[in-house]
Every structure is written in C-alpha cells, then in structure tokens.
Amino acid sequence: MPRTQLSAALLGAALLSLGTSTRASAQLGSYNPAPGPQGTYAIKNAHIFPVSGPEIPSGTIVISKGKIQAVGANVTIPAGAQVIDAAGMNVYPGMMDAGTSIGLSEIPQGAAATIDIAEVGNFNPNAQAIYGINPHSAHVGVARVVGITHVISRPTGGILSGQAALINLAGFTVPEMSVVPHAAMVIDLPKAGGGGGRGGGAAAFLAAAGGANAQAQNQQRQRQMDSLRTLLRDADAYGKSQDAYAKDKTLPRPKRDAVLESLVSTVRGVEPVMFPADRASDIKAAVAFAEEMKLKPIIVGGREAPEIAGYLKQHNVPVVYTHVLALPSREDDPYDQNYNAPAKLAAAGVQFSITSGDCCSEVRNLPSVAGMASAFGLSKADALKSVTLGPAQIFGVADKLGSLDVGKIANIVVTDGDMLEAKTNTKYLFIDGRLVPLDTKHSQLYDIFKGKPLQP
C-alpha cells in the first residue's frame, strides 16, 4: 500500500461532510462527530513536546493500533501510514482535567432533568459516573477541540458521593470512552462548621450562625463520621470473607452486597479516594482520615493547600487544584493568592495538577487556566505538566497517558502555537489513536449563521 499524503484539504472535506450531516442537531444531547478508525498515522516535521523529556524541535510521531509507536527526530515512517506534515506546528500529549463532572450535568439552571450529578442520600459508593455519563453531551466536543483528550468525571453530593471515571472524550458509547471505569472513590467528609455531606452546607451554616445548634451540628458530624468508618470497615471485612470463600468453598457462602463490594478496592488502598477539601483544617482532616483508614488520598479543591504545603509533601498527598481563577477568599489576601498557588505547590515539591475549576461547560478553559498560573510564577514546563503528565501520575495512569512516549495511548494534539495560549488553534486531534473531527455544536451553529443574508 502506498504512503498516503493526507492533505489538510482532504481532512477538511471529511470534516465538512460530517458537519453538514449534523447541522440539525443543535439541541440537548447534541451530536459530537464520530472519530475515525484507529489507522496508522505519521506526524512529521513537528515541534514535539513530549513532556516526559526534552523538546524535539523537528521530529516525527508514529501512531497505530491506538498507541504511540515511535517518537523522535529520526523516525522511519512505516509504509501505508497517513502522513500529516506538521511543519510550523507543535505536538503535545492531550490534556487531562481531573476535576470535571462532564456528561453528568448539562444545564444547571432551569433544566433539572439534565443534572445527574448527585445521588440521593449520604452513602453511595456504588453510584458510578461511568453509568451516568452522556457520551453525546455537547460539552464533550467543546472541551476536546482545545486539546483536552481525557478527563476524570466524578459524582458529587452526600458523603460517599460515588465513583469517578477516567474517560476519553471521544466515542459514541461510554464503553468506547472508558479508560478506567473506577478511577477513584469520592468521599466528601462532613466538615466542621458545615459543608460536605447532606445536612451540611447551607443548613449547617444557618444553624452555626444561630449558635445554639453548633453542638448538635458537631454531634451530627460525629455520627456521620462513625457511620462512614463502620461502612469502610464492613467493606474490608466483606472483601476478606469473599476472598476466603473463593479459596475455600467449604466455608459458609457470604451474601453479596453491592454497596460493600464497590468499596473493597478503595479500602485496600488500590483505588484512590478523591477528598473535596479547601480549608487547611479540612485538608488535614481528610489526610488524617485516609491514613487512619489506610486509603489512598487525592485532595480536590485545595484552596489553602499552599499554606500547608510542607504537611502535604511530608504525607505524600497529591492535590487536584481547582481555584486558579477563583477570587481570593479573604478580603486581605493578596490579589494573586490563587493565581500563584500552583507555583507555591511546585516550589514545595507537592504533587499537583491544575483543573479548569468548572465541572462541565467551561472545562475547555483548562489550557488558559494553566497558562495563567504560569504568568504567576509556575514555570511553563510545570504548567504544561500540570495538565498532562501531572494528573496522569496522580491517578496512577502515567503508564498509559500524559506524555508522548512509545506504548502510551495516542491522545495527541497538533496546534499552530503554544497549546496553553487562549488564541492557539488546534489543527489535528487524536484520541485513542483515532483522528477526531474538530466540529462541535458551536462550530455547527457558526457555520449556519455566519453567512445569514440580510432580510429585505
């Protein structure tokens, strides 16, 4: 088979036809165009940013069977490969936002039926994001065309909110998107002074403001913590009894339990736990709880993490930092308190990743959010790492994702400039080794209305 020169025009034509067929779909559950097959591709003459190693000013990447097959300055392009001449373009590993709930929430105001983000009740370890994600959410297409190729999507609410999934942002079905279906358990510990869990939040604040009920609130929190501990211990015992029975069928057969079963890999420290926590005291409480219960903690939020960076480093706890764009929380905080938080975490040697700070529609801001952290002290290399290899390492998938290395999933972005700059355009996008059309609900509406003639 001869080597095919894949011209931009040819790709453009392919995308255009997809675009035309989807024009009527600007509505809920908007159709994101399908990625192509897992072909053999070679991206040549590119400025390559592998993240795991030094930049390659002019090199080639070969992709096939969904994986990166070769990366380097002197790579032989295999026969039959579709070749993209990326002269003047940059190539990066796809970005990962570890703080989203993409696919679980579409329109937060006025369309309650599009919100599947929080289960009823406090303890839902068996609520799995992977079963709630809408693969056709318009947010999926809009996020990926800026170069976000995979995300953690997590449930919220209650105390044991459920299980987060790591998904690729391409596919017509969730199984096609799934990378790690049970990427992390989410535990939102009831917070002292309110927040976290049902009965926390606004009700707790109001009660605390009244003063009289502060004690009752603390008691409720203690009861909830006790219930949580009991549940985790029960899961540990459940796992042991199932293992014992598997080895020795003469034992009485333990009854299966969907709730406890979903917690076994969590209590064994295999599946990490995402603890939403912002205040220093809440972060420390989560770390202490994780150590007490032998869990593998990841702090999500981490607003005051820089204040206890030494503690986090010492306990080897990573932070998924969500507040770069947030206003400082105290009046007398420096104006750049949150802009420079990632720089402080990096300086202290804390493992961290940066997120867009949004669950869904604004996840696409991720590159510029990381870039802004760089305007306030974080090195450009660390900013890039904080949205690629950093989150992959935190979630234990750095063997599969996060950098341009042989054997990794081919999630690759080709751009006409610095990927973190707001003005940069994506030229080609590969997810799971498939070429993804750069068409979204937004570009479809743009195509329809940009040439609308003036009515006489």
Partner 1 sequence: MRSRHESTQSLETSSMRHATRYAKLTLAAAGALAATAIAASALHAQAAKAGAAAPILIKNATVMTVTRGTLTNTDVLLSGGKISQVGKNIAAPAGATTIDGTGKFVMPGIIDPHSHMASDATNEGSLSVTSMARIRDVINPTAIDIYRALAGGVTTINVLHGSANTIGGQNAVLKLKWGRSGAEMVMPDAPPGIKFALGENVTRKNSNNINIPGIQAPPRRYPGTRMGQEEVIRDAFMRAKDYKAAWDDYTAKSAKDKTLMPPRRDLELEPLKEVLEGKRLVHAHSYRSDEMLMLLNVADEFGFHVQTLQHGLEGYKIANEIAKHNTGLSSFADEWSYKIEAYDAIPYNVAILMRAGVLTTINSDDDGRARRLNIDAAKLMRYGGLTETEAMSTITINGAKQLGIEKHVGSIEVGKDADVAIFNANPLSVYASVEYTIIDGEVFFSKEKDVAMRAAEAKERAELEKMEANMAPAGRGGRQGGAPGAQSSNAPENH
Question: Based on CB atoms, which residue is closest to partner 1, 235 or 308?
Answer: 308
Q: Mask: binding to partner 1, 174-193, rule CB under 8 A, as x and -?
A: -----------------xxx
Q: Does residue 446 interact with partner 1 by CB under 8 A?
A: yes
The residue type found at 397 is V
**SS3 call for 194:** coil
Q: Mask: binding to partner 1, 119-158, rule CB under 8 A, as x and -?
A: -------------------xx-------------------
Q: Does residue 450 interact with partner 1 by CB under 8 A?
A: yes
- Smallest gap from residue 394 Cβ to partner 1 (A): 22
Cβ(62)–Cβ(75) below 8 Å:
yes
Q: Does residue 425 interact with partner 1 by CB under 8 A?
A: yes
Question: Based on CB atoms, which residue is closest to partner 1, 4 or 281?
Answer: 281
Residue of 60, 224, 403, 443 interacting with partner 1 (CB under 8 A): 443
- DSSP, res 323: -
Cβ(149)–Cβ(95) below 8 Å:
yes
Cβ(267)–Cβ(187) below 8 Å:
no
In this structure, the number of other CB atoms found within 10 A of the CB of residue 409 comes to 24
Q: Does residue 74 interact with partner 1 by CB under 8 A?
A: no
Residue of 70, 136, 325, 396 interacting with partner 1 (CB under 8 A): 325
Q: Which of 353, 434, 441, 412 is nearest to 177 (CA)?
A: 434
Residue of 15, 18, 28, 75 interacting with partner 1 (CB under 8 A): 28
Q: Does residue 204 interact with partner 1 by CB under 8 A?
A: yes
Q: For residue 417, what are the CA distances in angstroms to 169, 320, 424?
A: 22, 26, 5
d(CA 7, CA 13): 10
Q: Does residue 281 interact with partner 1 by CB under 8 A?
A: yes
Q: Does residue 262 interact with partner 1 by CB under 8 A?
A: no
d(CA 312, CA 350): 7
Q: Which of 66, 64, 63, 37 is nearest to 48 (CA)?
A: 63
Q: Does residue 253 interact with partner 1 by CB under 8 A?
A: no
Residue of 336, 396, 400, 405 interacting with partner 1 (CB under 8 A): 336
Q: Does residue 212 interact with partner 1 by CB under 8 A?
A: no
Q: Does residue 225 interact with partner 1 by CB under 8 A?
A: no
Question: Based on CB atoms, which residue is closest to partner 1, 71 or 277?
Answer: 277
Dihedral sign from CA coordinates of 194, 195, 196, 198: positive
Phi first, then psi, for residue 97 (nearest 5°) are -100, 115
- Of the ranges 44-52, 127-135, 227-235, 358-366, which one interacts with partner 1 (CB under 8 A)? 358-366
